[in-house]
Amino acid sequence: MANPTPLKPTGASRLRQLLKDPNHTVVAPGVYDGLTARIALAHDFECLYMTGAGTNMSKLGTADLGIATMNDMVQHASMIASLDPSVPVIADADTGYGGPIMVARTVRAYALAGLAGLHIEDQVQEKRCGHLSGKQVVPREVYYSRLRAAVKARDECGSEMLIIARTDARADSGFDEAVERLKGAVECGVDALFLEALQSREEAERAVKIFQGTPMLLNMVPGGKTPQMGVREAKECGFRIYINPTLSLETVVRPLERAMKLLKEEGRDECEPIGPNALFRICGLDDAVAFDQSVGGVAFGGQK
What pLDDT does 284 receive? 85
119 is catalytic: yes
In this prediction the pTM is 0.92
In this prediction, residue 4 has a pLDDT band, given cuts at 50, 70 and 90, of: low
pLDDT for the residue 5: 60
CA-to-CA distance for 235 and 21, rounded, in angstroms?
12
| Sign, CA torsion 70/248/126/88 | positive
Q: Is residue 94 annotated as part of the catalytic site, yes or no?
A: yes
Q: Is 271 annotated as catalytic?
A: no
Question: Is 160 among the residues known to form the active site?
Answer: no
Of 230 and 136, which is predicted with more confidence?
230
Marked catalytic residue, from 14, 16, 32, 64: 64
Alpha helices (H) along 24-99: 34-42, 52-55, 70-82
- The pLDDT of residue 133: 61
In angstroms, the CA 304 to CA 294 distance is 17
Which of these is catalytic: 76, 108, 119, 181? 119
In the predicted model, is pLDDT for residue 303 greater than 60? no
- Digit-coded pLDDT (tens) for 151-200: 999 999 999 999 999 999 999 899 999 999 999 999 999 999 999 999 99
Q: Is 49 a catalytic residue?
A: yes
pLDDT score recorded for residue 130: 52
Interval 203-257: pLDDT, tens: 999 999 999 999 999 999 988 889 999 999 999 999 999 999 999 999 999 999 9
User: Distance between CA 175 and CA 123 in Å, rounded?
Assistant: 16
64 tagged catalytic = yes
Of residues 36 and 270, the one with the higher pLDDT is: 36
pLDDT at 224: 86
Mean pLDDT of all residues in 133-142: 86
Q: Which distant-in-sequence residues (6+ apart) come within 8 Å of 54 by Cβ?
A: 30, 31, 32, 33, 245, 246, 248, 249
Instruction: Please give the average per-residue pLDDT across 67-90, as a whole number.
Output: 96
Asked about 92 being catalytic, the answer comes back as yes
